[in-house]
Chain A
Amino acid sequence: MMKADTSATLRAFLIELAVYSVLVTGYFFLVFHFLTGWLQELHLHHVKLYALVAIALIIGQAVVLESVTTGLFRLLRGRSE
Chain B
Amino acid sequence: MFFPISNSHISPIYLVVIGFLIGVMGGFFGVGGSFIAGPALRAVGLDWNFAVGTDLAHIVGKSVVAAKRHRALGNVDLRLGFIMAIGTMGGAEIGAQLIQMLKRAGSVNLVVSVVSIVIYVSISSFMIWETWSTLHFQKRRGARPKMAGPTAKQDESSFSHRTRAIQRFHIWPMISLPASGVRISLWVIVLVSFIGGMFSGFLGGGAGYIRMPMLVYVLGIPTHLAVGTDLFEIIISASYGTFSHAIKGNVDILIALVMNTGAAIGAQIGAISTQYFAGPKIRIAFVPLPLIGAAIVIYTMWTGQRI
Contact = CB atoms under 8 A, between A and B. Distances in A.
Contact of B16 (A24, A52, A62, A81): A24
B300 interface: no
Interface in A28-54: 28, 31-32, 35-36, 39-40, 43, 47-48, 50-54
B264 A58 contact: no
A7 interface: no
B57 A54 contact: yes
Contact of A47 (B58, B246, B253): B246
A66 B71 CA distance: 13
Interface string A40-81: 100100011011111101110111011011100100000001
Interface residues of A, number: 34
Contacts of B68: 66
Contacts of A51: 242-243, 246-247, 251
A62 B261 contact: no
Contacts of B260: 58, 61-62, 65
Contacts of B268: 66, 69-70, 73, 81
Interface stretch (B31-39, B59-67, B107-115, B187-195): B59-67
A29 to B, nearest CB: 11
A34 to B, nearest CB: 12
A58 B65 CA distance: 11
A46 to B, nearest CB: 10
Nearest to B53: A54
A58 B256 contact: yes
B254 interface: yes
Contact of B264 (A31, A59, A65): A65
Given A24-B261, A28-B12, A50 B64 contact: no
B261 A32 contact: no
Contact of B242 (A16, A47, A58): A58
Contacts of B179: none
B12 A54 contact: no
Contacts of A20: 265
Interface string B174-215: 000000000000000000000000000000000000000000
A65 B251 contact: no
B47 to A, nearest CB: 15
B265 A69 contact: yes
Interface in B253-269: 253-254, 256-258, 260-261, 264-265, 268
Contacts of A43: 5, 249
Given A16-B265, A39-B5, A59 B60 contact: yes
Most buried by B among A17, A48, A70: A70
Contact of B61 (A24, A27, A58): A58
15 contacts: A16-B265, A32-B254, A39-B254, A54-B57, A54-B243, A55-B60, A55-B243, A58-B57, A58-B61, A62-B264, A65-B65, A65-B261, A66-B68, A66-B69, A69-B268
Interface of B: 4-5, 12, 16, 57-58, 60-62, 64-65, 68-69, 239, 242-243, 246-247, 249, 251, 253-254, 256-258, 260-261, 264-265, 268, 272
Given A31-B254, A50-B247, A66-B69, 13 more contacts: A16-B265, A28-B261, A40-B4, A43-B249, A51-B251, A55-B60, A57-B253, A58-B60, A61-B61, A61-B260, A65-B261, A65-B264, A81-B272
Q: Which 3 A-B pairs have the closest CB atoms?
A: A51-B246, A65-B264, A62-B61
